[in-house]
């Protein structure tokens, strides 16, 4: 009977098509990149023999203790080949994240253009951090010169911790309370803290560096709640002044918001 013959033939053909599709998926590179925890940098420390936050002028620079660690992420290269098998492993790996390639390497932009954009974002971030910190302290940029040194880091996510480093160096007392404090967040000239990506991997970077407190934009508390914080105390902030107040309250044993 033709109907029966067709039914008998359909199953092996379907299985063959499924096998071909699976083979195709496992062999053909997928449009994704892998994100892993990156390096950390102490804005109260040095980079390549120079203070990350260098202050000159008539202003008094106070000694600091502890660490203010800005966190970063590392993305695999745009031309690296990632097939389904490796991506499935990364999806289940808590120390890797899979993101669309175009979110890191926009279509139509060369690697050189991406690097240039990240470098410009870093410079803008440093300028905004300096303006915000001096405005918070009520100091004039004409009397206080702040120079920020940090190599091999791009993008805007270091802004908050640059600003905190400036504030700590220009304020009597210890903003960290001797702790190792890490975090992330962009900042504008008015001190408003903005959200930034890669939070899960930055939490891992902070934990590996020995941090006990992680300061993050308040709007990212939702994402923070979906991952394991690794024992880090998560402190959400919306502004530079709010971040300073939270750290001072932490030092004094006062009430501090948490995610």
User: Distance between CA atoms of 131 and 126, rounded to whole angstroms?
Assistant: 9
Question: Which residues lie closer than 8 Å to 24 by C-beta, 6 or more apart?
Answer: none
Listing DSSP states for 179-195 in one string gives: -EEEE--EE-TT-BEE-
Show the CA angle centred on residue 101, arms to residues 97 and 105, nearest 5°. Answer: 120
User: Distance between CA atoms of 150 and 169, rounded to whole angstroms?
Assistant: 17
Show the CA angle centred on residue 103, arms to residues 205 and 203, nearest 5°. Answer: 15
DSSP 220: G
202 is catalytic: yes
CB 206 within 8 A of CB 70: no
Residue pointed to by tokens 């300061």 = 215
User: Distance between CA atoms of 179 and 256, rounded to whole angstroms?
Assistant: 15
Catalytic residue among 125, 128, 186, 202: 202
145 is catalytic: no
User: Distance between CA atoms of 6 and 237, rounded to whole angstroms?
Assistant: 66
Closest CA to 41 of 151, 133, 160: 151
Q: Cα–chain-centroid distance for residue 145?
A: 27
CB 123 within 8 A of CB 147: no
Catalytic residue among 125, 128, 157, 186: 157
Supply the residues annotated as catalytic.
157, 202
């Amino acid at each position: 009977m033709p109907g029966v013959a067709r039914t008998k033939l359909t199953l092996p053909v379907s299985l063959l098509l499924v096998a071909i599709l699976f083979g195709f998926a496992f062999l053909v590179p997928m449009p994704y990149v892998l994100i892993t925890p990156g390096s950390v940098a102490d804005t109260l420390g040095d980079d390549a023999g120079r203070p990350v936050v260098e202050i000159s002028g008539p202003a008094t620079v106070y000694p600091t203790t502890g660490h203010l660690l800005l966190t970063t992420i590392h993305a695999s290269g745009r031309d690296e080949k990632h097939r389904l098998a490796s991506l499935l492993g990364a999806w289940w790996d808590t120390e890797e994240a899979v993101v669309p390639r175009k979110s890191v390497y926009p279509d139509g932009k060369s690697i050189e253009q991406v690097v240039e954009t990240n470098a410009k974002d870093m410079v803008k971030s440093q300028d905004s951090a300096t303006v915000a910190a001096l405005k918070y302290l009520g100091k004039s940029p004409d009397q206080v010169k702040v120079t920020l040194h940090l190599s091999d880091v791009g993008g805007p996510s270091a802004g908050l911790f640059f600003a905190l480093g400036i504030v700590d160096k220009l304020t009597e007392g210890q903003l960290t309370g001797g702790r190792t404090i890490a975090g992330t967040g962009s900042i504008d000239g008015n001190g408003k803290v903005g959200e930034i990506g890669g939070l899960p991997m930055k939490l891992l970077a902070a934990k590996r560096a020995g941090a006990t407190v992680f300061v993050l934009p308040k709007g990212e508390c939702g994402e923070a709640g979906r991952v394991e914080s690794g024992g880090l105390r998560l402190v959400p902030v919306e502004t530079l002044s709010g971040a300073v107040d939270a750290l001072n309250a932490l030092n004094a044993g006062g009430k501090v918001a948490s995610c």
